[in-house]
C-alpha cells in the first residue's frame, strides 16, 4: 500500500493531536512543521498539506496550497466569508486536488447514533431541536463564523435545509440565540454562551411526536458523550468514550485523496459558513431573514461576477454621460471619443453576457 506524505502547517497543540492520529494510519507519513509554507510547497515529495495555525492567515495559505496543486485538509474555520469558500472550491477543481474541511463532529459515534434515531422514526416526526454550547467562545463575529458554523453543520443533518432564521443577543457579551425554521417544518434553536471555563460543553435536545433524544458532550466534540433517548418502548442510554475523531478525519481524507465518497465535504463547510453569514445579517439588521440557498457551480459564480460587473458599469455610465453632457456644453475636447469608448465597453459586456447564455445551454445539455 502506497504511503501518502503529509506536510503540516499550524501550531504545536494542533500538531501533537494530528501526529498521534497519523501514527495509527500506516498509509500516512506526517512531516514535522516547517517554518515557511513556501518551503513545504517546494518539496517534491509532499503529496498533501494539513492546514491549521492562526485563523487570519489560513485563507491566504490555503489559496497558495491550491495554486501549487496540493490537496489540503483544512482546520475550521478558514474564513468567515462564504465567497472565499466558493473561490477555494473553484481553485481545487481547476487543480484537480482534494479539499476537505476538518469538521469531525459528524464522525462522532454518539452523533451518528442520534441521527439514526431521528431518521428511523423512533421518536416520530421532529418538532424542535435545541443545541446549547458554552465555553471560551470568541466574543466577536468569529462566534458566528467559527462556533455557530460548527454547530449548524451538525444541525442540518437533523432538521434539513434552513429556510428562515432570526439571531438575537450580543457578541460582546458572549450571548447569542439563533432560531431556525426548516423546510421540513421542524423548528430549531442554537444557544451560544461564553464562559470562563476552558471546557467546550454541548447539550443537544431533540423533541419528537413520540419521544425525545438528549446528547451531552462534556468536553467538546472530540471527547466522550452521553446519549439518552425516550420512545414508546421505554428509556435507554449509551456512553461513548474516546471517539478518536482526528484519526477518523484522516481516514476520510484518505478516501478523498483516492477520489472516493467522503464526509464532510467542502460543500458542507460552505453551507455552514453561508448560514453563519445569514445569522450575522439577521443580527446586524435586528430582524428575521429568509435564507436563500444558491447553487454552487462555475456557472453560478460566473452569473454573480457578471451581475456585480453590470451594476458597476451602470454607475460608471451615469457618471460618464453626465460628464459628456457637461463637456459638450462647455466645449471640452475628447467628449466624442469618450462616448465611443463607452459604447465599446457596453458591446464587450454584452458579448460576455452571451457566454452566460451559451454556458446555460451547455449545462442544461449535460
Is residue 93 scored above 70 in pLDDT? Answer: yes
Cα–Cα distance, 345 to 314 (Å, whole number): 11
pLDDT above 70: percentage of residues in the chain: 91
Cα–Cα distance, 223 to 239 (Å, whole number): 11
Kindly indicate the confidence band of residue 366, based on its pLDDT and cuts at 50, 70 and 90: very low
Bridge partners for 164 per DSSP = 181, 290
E strands in 198-345: 201-208, 212-217, 225-231, 234-240, 289-290
Q: What is the pLDDT of residues 164-223, one digit of tens each?
A: 999 999 999 999 999 999 988 899 999 999 998 878 999 999 999 999 999 999 988 888
The grid cell for 32 is: 514535522
Per-residue pLDDT, averaged over 141-149, amounts to 92
Residue carrying the nine cell digits 460566473 = 302
Taking the C-alpha atoms of 198, 129, 250 and 96 in order, what is their torsion angle to the nearest 10 degrees?
-120
Look at residue 269 and give its three-state secondary structure. Answer: helix
The region of weakest confidence among 14-28, 50-64, 72-86, 135-149 is 14-28
- The answer to whether 15 touches 38, Cβ cutoff 8 Å, is no
Q: What is the pLDDT of residues 214-260, one digit of tens each?
A: 999 998 888 899 999 999 989 999 999 988 898 899 999 999 999 99
What is the set of domains in the chain, with CATH numbers? Answer: 4-102 (3.40.50.720), 106-244+256-290 (3.30.360.10), 298-364 (no CATH)
The grid cell for 8 is: 503540516
The region of weakest confidence among 18-22, 76-80, 345-349 is 345-349
pTM: 0.77
Which of 316 and 108 is assigned the larger pLDDT? 108
Amino acid at each position: 500500500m502506497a504511503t501518502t506524505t503529509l506536510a503540516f502547517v499550524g501550531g504545536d497543540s494542533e500538531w501533537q493531536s494530528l501526529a498521534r492520529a497519523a501514527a495509527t494510519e500506516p498509509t500516512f507519513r506526517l512531516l514535522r512543521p516547517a517554518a515557511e509554507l513556501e518551503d513545504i510547497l517546494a518539496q517534491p515529495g509532499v503529496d498533501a498539506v494539513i492546514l491549521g495555525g492562526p485563523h487570519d492567515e489560513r485563507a491566504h495559505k490555503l489559496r497558495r496550497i491550491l495554486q501549487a496543486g496540493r490537496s489540503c485538509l483544512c482546520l475550521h474555520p478558514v474564513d468567515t466569508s462564504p465567497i472565499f469558500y466558493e473561490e477555494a472550491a473553484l481553485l481545487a477543481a481547476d487543480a484537480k486536488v482534494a479539499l476537505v474541511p476538518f469538521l469531525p463532529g459528524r464522525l462522532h459515534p454518539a452523533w451518528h447514533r442520534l441521527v439514526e434515531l431521528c431518521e428511523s422514526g423512533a421518536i416520530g416526526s421532529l418538532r424542535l431541536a435545541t443545541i446549547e454550547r458554552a465555553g471560551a467562545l470568541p466574543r466577536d463575529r468569529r462566534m458566528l463564523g467559527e462556533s455557530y458554523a460548527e454547530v449548524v453543520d451538525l444541525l442540518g443533518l437533523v432538521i434539513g435545509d434552513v429556510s428562515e432564521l432570526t439571531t438575537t443577543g450580543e457578541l460582546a457579551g458572549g450571548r447569542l440565540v439563533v432560531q431556525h425554521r426548516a423546510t421540513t417544518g421542524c423548528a430549531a434553536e442554537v444557544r451560544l454562551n461564553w464562559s470562563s471555563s476552558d471546557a467546550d460543553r454541548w447539550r443537544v435536545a431533540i423533541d419528537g411526536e413520540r419521544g425525545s433524544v438528549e446528547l451531552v458532550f462534556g468536553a467538546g466534540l472530540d471527547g466522550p458523550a452521553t446519549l439518552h433517548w425516550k420512545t414508546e418502548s421505554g428509556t435507554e442510554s449509551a456512553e461513548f468514550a474516546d471517539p478518536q475523531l482526528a484519526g477518523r478525519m484522516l481516514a476520510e481524507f484518505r478516501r478523498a485523496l483516492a477520489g472516493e465518497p467522503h464526509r464532510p465535504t467542502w460543500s458542507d463547510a460552505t453551507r455552514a459558513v453561508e448560514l453563519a453569514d445569514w445569522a450575522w445579517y439577521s443580527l446586524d439588521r435586528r430582524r428575521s431573514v429568509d435564507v436563500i440557498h444558491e447553487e454552487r457551480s462555475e456557472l453560478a459564480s460566473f452569473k454573480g461576477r457578471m451581475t456585480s460587473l453590470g451594476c458597476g458599469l451602470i454607475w460608471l455610465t451615469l457618471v460618464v454621460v453626465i460628464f459628456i453632457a457637461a463637456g459638450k456644453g462647455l466645449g471640452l475636447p475628447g467628449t466624442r471619443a469618450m462616448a465611443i469608448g463607452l459604447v465599446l465597453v457596453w458591446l464587450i459586456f454584452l458579448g460576455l453576457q452571451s457566454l452566460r447564455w451559451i454556458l446555460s445551454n451547455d449545462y442544461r445539455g449535460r
